[in-house]
Structure 1
Amino acid sequence: MKKAEGSLRIAIVGMGPRGLGALEALRALRCEGDAPIRVDVFDPFPASGAGPNFDPDESQLCLLNIPHRDISIRPPEYSRIGSFANWLPHDPDPDAFPARADLGRYLEDRYEDLRGQETYRLTRHACRVDALKRDGDGWLLQVSDQWHGPYDEVLLTLGQPKVCPDDQLAEWQQHADGSRGVLAQAYPAARLAEAAAEWSGKSIAIRGMGLSAFDVLRVLTCAQGGRFENGRYIPSGREPERIYPFSLDGKPPFPKPATQEIDERFTPTEAETNAFTDAMPKAAEADVTTAKLLINTAITPVALRVLSEHGAEASADRVLDWLETEWDQPGAQEEDGPLDTLLSGMALAEAKAPPTIGYTVGQLWRKWQDQIRAGYNPAKTPPDTAKALLGFDEGLKRYSYGPPLSASRELRALIEAGLVDLALATDPEIETVSDGWALSKGYASATVGVMVDAVLPSPDLGAVRTPLVSQLLEEGPLTPLAEGLSADTAADGRIIDTQGQPAHGLCLLGRLALGSVVAADSLHDCFGEASRRWARGVLDRQTSHP
């Protein structure tokens, strides 16, 4: 197939926030008078710019884990769409956490704004790409039995594709097909709410106690007519009889600081941030031992200052001991049970208790997310160091990615109302029975007829069921950075093949590149430097290969 004459031609596979961020970055770097870029977008999901995670049709009960005051995904200067706060029809409470659906509609508008830009000739294909192959200097994309292209550049922004279920989930799927038990997914929440209307009076378990579990709890209660009022839950009578959330450690995540004033207690000084900014790229390129030392040395004095200023007893040795444990056994420092963890987290978020080392380190890590990505993502990180840094980041998410305080208060109210029971929260024994699942832990036990899976799968390339990813793994050039990590990519997103060479014009951004990049789950990362590096790479390659 011969390439058509004309301007640069790009294909973007997946048009959620990351695909949108990449297009905006490319538009921002183009010069006035440049020939329009021909862009074909391939995505079967209808909400371009939003994607499934921010589906505009999703339940309003599903909230971001970022308050309005921290949403800084401002559009480029050329855009006709303002900031999210200005786009809303009302002035938002800066401490409130918006609905994901509202943000999705905003991102849709940003995509529509791009369609009106003269920089692009934008064509959307509401279909899935099944395969990809080289065609001379370009790439061809297969959709069903048709090939599209050739394209000078292909960008894969696939988000979280479908994966093969883990062993436990696969067993449960088979069990649900042959028993009276029901296995449901947390999302789409609107679909879960419809199904939950038939579960009144049943006992339900939730697999996972992360952010998704809070959405599930609202669907099982508020979406069934209940409401929270003055710190209490007022039931409608259509709720399940009992809800049993559980996870490996049984501990809910810690809520973020309740107000901007409390949050500012954890803000590092400019000099402290500069020191961390200097340490991060060095750590990313170092061996594991050196990387840990550099990160610990940058964090310890800042954490110690915050703790001392706000009434906590701490020493440099105690902070270092906490950090050393966190590298090897994240969460092992915390011995509280599920309920005490919930209550202590609320007290920390409200500043009713002095900050702990963990809460302080977690908030600092959250505030340094841009510096973490800026130092790590362009670096060529040794695989063992990548595993260590990603594990450290993942462990700290119980603090840095915490829910709004309101979600923790809702959980407490549901416990006090007798709807939620945490007696089986910590890694219970689970057996399949004819009526569903039998859970037990110590002297506590329960049989549930419904199991809701609220666990986000890991971005293991080998488990991905998307045909395109499977094909690229089998035939190349896609390869994992190392066992247990995701795709090997260059700083500008180009896929690194099995020979260690970057594939010309074939790039991947986002979660499926974890290991090559860090903190890719953040919404802000979609509109950050990763997208700009990709855009600069595209334009540089166009210049060098006219």
Structure 2
Amino acid sequence: MSSGGGRAALRVAVIGGGPRGASAVERLLANWPGARDTGRSELRITVFDPFAPGPGRVWRPEQPREFLMNTPCLYPTVIPSEPGVAPPLAGGSFREWLGRQAGRGAEAPDEAEALAPASYPPRALYGRYLADTFAAIVAAAPEGASVAHVALEVVRLGRTPHGWAVTTADGRAREADAVVLALGHVPTKPNRAQRDLVDAAARLGLTYLPPAAPADVDWDVLPAGRTVLVRGMGLNFFDVMVRLTEGRGGRFKDGPEGLEYVPSGREPRLVAASRRGVPYRGKAELSAYYAPSVRLRWFTREAALAPRAAGVTPSFDTDFWPLLHRDTLWAYYATLARTQPDAIGPGFLDALEAALETPGAGWEARAEGAVVAGVVRGSRLDLRGLGTPLAGQHFASRSELDARVLAHLDDDAAGSARGEDDPVKMAIAALHRGRAVLKEVVADGGITEESWVAGLRGWFEGLVEGLASGPPSVRIRQLAALIRAGVVSTVGPEPRFSVDRGAGCFVAESPWVGGRPVYAAAMVEALAPANVVAAADSPLLSGLLADGLVRPKYLAGADGVPRPASGLDVTAPPYRPLDVNGHAVPGLYVLGLQLSAVQWGTAIAAEAHPFGPPGEANDGAPYPSGQRTLRDADLVARDILGL
């Protein structure tokens, strides 16, 4: 960026103090020693966030301990270990931080010592890591660099003759030469259906909790013993579930037939609903983040990048999914042959491998023929059916439905416990590995807009999230225990929600389930707020959009009509937003979730050590995508510093 008129001090505002903002600060400080010859003698960084820098709002350490991370201890970091970037000044990965807590004699060390590398830690503990790491980064600031924190929300950002004016909620404006938008999750304006529910709740004296981060919700407003409708059975659902059960004094214990729940008597009665009628599948119990036995043979990084190297913009459905589909089939049937040899006929794996090696469009029919001829009917993979296990089934009553859901949960938990010996979990493991490749190759226009909209985001994202983005397996076992205890029940697939004004209740029912609908005086939206910039309930984003300083990214679907995507329109890295006229805005940068229209999987944290052991590329090279968020921060920092 420009030298800002020769001023000796370079003033950088980082708006958002969560992990993305902390990464921006860390990279600015790490790169600062190399920027001394650019005419600046001082670097002043100001982090704007109402919450403490490092954890920010989402990871704040004071949140309930029942809320678990969705990645194991060995995975996340905010400190890069990639070659080719300025070495970090302080800090390490989460796992390394845990190791340093041993023997320090406080609450957190005992908790840390009890965690194995593959354990899923409390989010509050990860918040401690982020806070400690940020403090270490600031303490190690090189000569001439300083970091300040303003514990206020930024409500306005405007251009000045010399840079930017950053206005906080108290009305004060501070000047900056460069601004990094690292906003993370921002509140979302309610849609029309949600506004109707809010209005109905106000008129009828009902309790309605709209989409929100679970740590931000006052759960005490939900009375004990009363029915509470919960819409959504993804990751937020499990936070709701555990907060209203174990968080109210109930406890889980091992019984003769598995996990049991002992109620405290303070729980509400939860009735959960989702489009599929079942929750996300639980994660396999593994010793590593990726299943060591699953190696991608067809959807390698080299194969995925080949179209781009040839000057062709690939399609997800045509170019990528057929390769990943092959790997998913092979992972399933190779595991089946190893663990259940009686389920396959002689020569099946050879026939399947030959079919998967078939070039062109004929491979799928040939593979299907090999499966029909060589695998017993009940052991064949129905990949789409894994995500919708209740599809096409009718239930005479909700008790019959709950029995079917319970059987599904028990089966899923047993599969998780088998780990690498479970064919279904290894098929999902191949999808999980494939996401790492996809995250890199689809970024920044890596696939056609039509296949981004209709393929990747249209059908694949929902499938892979329901299968590979689920909770730790303990949550599935806990949900099963709660259903057995009569604390939780379900509505059924494709639920419909309404308000019965005569009865003064919320109503939920499924067209696939007979009997009476569910009536409740309380309803919880267990849905993460939508990450859509145009719908953000943020004075800062709204002002930037209204002023034309940023604009949503538009993508064309199958009909060729451009429609606004979820994220901002930006340049290639270092991701400067485009204004309403399509011009790059100097001195303004975007990191994190607001890049969701040009990156896929923006919410996934950086991987601690993606460069060892080697990954799936044909030459044995590891995936470089595991620390993409940290590399983005490094590119932004270097551009700000003029490197």
* Residue type of the alignment partner of 1:61: E
- Give the whole-Å Cα distance in 1 for the aligned partners of 2:54 and 2:367: 42
What 5-or-longer segments of structure 1 have no aligned partner? none
Q: For residues 244-298 of structure 1, what are the alpha-carbon distances to aligned partners after superposition, in whole Å with 9 as ceiling and x for unaligned?
A: 01112212101111122796255325886344553586799725xx332221233
- Give the whole-Å Cα distance in 1 for the aligned partners of 2:31 and 2:367: 43
**Number of residue pairs matched?**
532
2:47 is equivalent to residue 41 of structure 1: yes
Aligned to 2:130: 107
C-alpha distance 229-31 of structure 1, shift in aligned 2 (>3 A)? same
**SS of equivalent residue, structure 1 residue 62:** coil
Q: CA deviation at 1:477?
A: 2.5
Q: CA deviation at 1:36?
A: 4.1
Aligned to 1:218: 242
Aligned to 1:162: 187
2:523 is equivalent to residue 523 of structure 1: no
**Structure 1 residue aligned with 2:252, among 228, 242, 250?**
228
CA contact (8 A) 2:224 2:266 kept: yes
Q: CA deviation at 1:333?
A: 8.1
CA contact (8 A) 2:79 2:630 kept: no
Aligned to 2:429: 363
TM-score, normalised on structure 2? Answer: 0.75
Q: How does 1:73-222 map to 2 (within 5 A)?
A: 73-74=78-79, 78-88=88-98, 89=109, 90-91=112-113, 92-119=115-142, 120-136=145-161, 138-143=163-168, 144-149=170-175, 151-184=176-209, 187-189=213-215, 191-196=217-222, 199-222=223-246
2:29 is equivalent to residue 18 of structure 1: no
**SS of equivalent residue, structure 1 residue 495:** coil
CA contact (8 A) 2:158 2:165 kept: yes
- Give the whole-Å Cα distance in 1 for the aligned partners of 2:484 and 2:382: 37
Q: CA deviation at 1:189?
A: 3.6
Q: For residues 288-342 of structure 1, what are the alpha-carbon distances to aligned partners after superposition, in whole Å with 9 as ceiling and x for unaligned?
A: xx3322212331332233122211679552799999996xx99468737644543
C-alpha distance 107-318 of structure 1, shift in aligned 2 (>3 A)? farther
2:462 is equivalent to residue 460 of structure 1: no
Q: How does 1:43-442 map to 2 (within 5 A)?
A: 43-44=49-50, 46-74=51-79, 78-88=88-98, 89=109, 90-91=112-113, 92-119=115-142, 120-136=145-161, 138-143=163-168, 144-149=170-175, 151-184=176-209, 187-189=213-215, 191-196=217-222, 199-230=223-254, 231-240=259-268, 242-260=269-287, 264=291, 267-268=294-295, 273-275=300-302, 277-278=304-305, 286=313, 290-311=315-336, 316=356, 317=364, 331=387, 335=391, 338-351=405-418, 354-356=422-424, 359-379=425-445, 382-387=448-453, 388-391=455-458, 392-424=460-492, 426-433=494-501, 435-441=504-510, 442=514
Work out the percentage of aligned pairs sharing the same amino acid.
25
**Structure 2 residue aligned with 1:29, among 31, 46, 53?**
31
CA contact (8 A) 1:58 1:188 kept: no
**SS of equivalent residue, structure 1 residue 15:** coil
C-alpha distance 525-511 of structure 1, shift in aligned 2 (>3 A)? farther
Q: In angstroms, what is the RMSD of aligned CA positions?
A: 3.3
- Give the whole-Å Cα distance in 1 for the aligned partners of 2:522 and 2:366: 43
TM-score, normalised on structure 1? Answer: 0.87
Which range moves more in the overlay, 104-113 or 131-140? 131-140
**SS of equivalent residue, structure 2 residue 568:** coil
- Give the whole-Å Cα distance in 2 for the aligned partners of 1:3 and 1:444: 72
Q: Which has the larger radius of gyration?
A: 2
Which range moves more in the overlay, 467-476 or 63-72? 63-72
- Give the whole-Å Cα distance in 2 for the aligned partners of 1:284 and 1:62: 46
**SS of equivalent residue, structure 1 residue 298:** helix
CA contact (8 A) 1:414 1:420 kept: yes
Q: For residues 144-168 of structure 1, what are the alpha-carbon distances to aligned partners after superposition, in whole Å with 9 as ceiling and x for unaligned?
A: 433211x222111111211111222
- Give the whole-Å Cα distance in 1 for the aligned partners of 2:505 and 2:366: 45
Q: CA deviation at 1:18?
A: 0.9
Q: CA deviation at 1:468?
A: 1.3
Q: CA deviation at 1:469?
A: 0.7
What 5-or-longer segments of structure 2 have no aligned partner? 82-86, 99-108, 338-343, 357-363, 369-379, 394-403, 555-562, 609-625
* Residue type of the alignment partner of 2:469: Y
Q: CA deviation at 1:178?
A: 1.9
- Give the whole-Å Cα distance in 2 for the aligned partners of 1:43 and 1:477: 21
**SS of equivalent residue, structure 2 residue 336:** coil
